[in-house]
Amino acid sequence: LLSEMVDSGQVVTTDMSVLRGLVPVPSLMGRVIENVSGFSTNTLASSTASHDAPWRARSIRHTTNEFFVDIVDRIDAIVDSSGTCVMYDVMGDISCKSRLSGMPHLVMTLGRARELDDVVFHPCVVRRAWDTDRTIGFVPPDGPFKLASYHVAQSLRSMPLRVLGEARCTENGMTVHVTVEPGETGSRRVENIRVRVPLDSRAYNIGVQCKSGTHIVTTSRHPQVEWTLDSIHATDSLVRLVIQYSLRSAPQTDSTDAAFVTFEVPGYSVSSIKVDALRLLRESYKLFKGVRYSTMAGSFQVRF
pLDDT in the model for residue 74: 96
Give 234 or 241, the one with higher predicted confidence: 241
Candidate from 53-62, 82-91, 124-133, 182-191 with smallest mean pLDDT:
53-62
In angstroms, the CA 16 to CA 227 distance is 38
CB 158 within 8 A of CB 184: yes
C-alpha distances in Å from residue 294, one per residue of 37, 54, 66, 182: 51, 31, 21, 16
- Sign of the C-alpha dihedral computed for residues 28, 30, 31 and 33 taken in this order: positive
The SS3 of residue 60 is coil
- What is residue 23's three-state secondary structure? coil
Half-sphere exposure of 195 (CA within 13 A, CB side): 30
- Dist. CA 225–CA 215, nearest whole Å: 7
Q: What percent of the chain has pLDDT over 90?
A: 59
pLDDT at position 202 = 85
pTM score, whole prediction: 0.81
Q: Which of 150, 192, 185, 151 is nearest to 268 (CA)?
A: 185
Instruction: Evaluate whether 137 touches 107 at the Cβ level (below 8 Å).
Output: yes
**264-277 residues labelled b (16+ CB within 10 A) or e (exposed):** bbeebbbbbbebee
Give Cα separations from 224 to 163, 240, 304 (angstroms): 18, 17, 15
pLDDT tens per residue across span 253-303: 555 689 999 999 999 999 999 999 999 999 999 999 999 999 999 999 999
Q: pLDDT (tens digit, 9 = 90+) per residue, 215-230? A: 999 988 889 999 999 9
Residue 262 φ then ψ, to 5°? -130, 150
Dump strand ranges (E) for the chain.
Answer: 6-7, 10-11, 66-79, 85-99, 105-111, 116-121, 125-126, 135-138, 143-152, 161-169, 173-182, 190-198, 203-210, 214-218, 224-232, 239-247, 258-266, 274-281, 288-303
Q: What count of Cα atoms within 13 Å lies in the side-chain half-sphere of residue 123?
A: 13
- Average per-residue pLDDT for the chain: 86
Quick: pLDDT tens for 179-199: 999 998 888 999 999 999 999
Task: Give the integer Cα–Cα distance in Å for 137 and 149.
Answer: 15
Among the residue ranges 90-94, 128-132, 171-175, 237-241, the one predicted with the least confidence is 171-175
Instruction: Please tell me the distance from the alpha carbon of residue 94 to that of residue 106, in angstroms, as a whole number.
Output: 14
* Residue 200 pLDDT: 87
Asked whether the predicted pLDDT for residue 121 surpasses 90, the reply is: yes
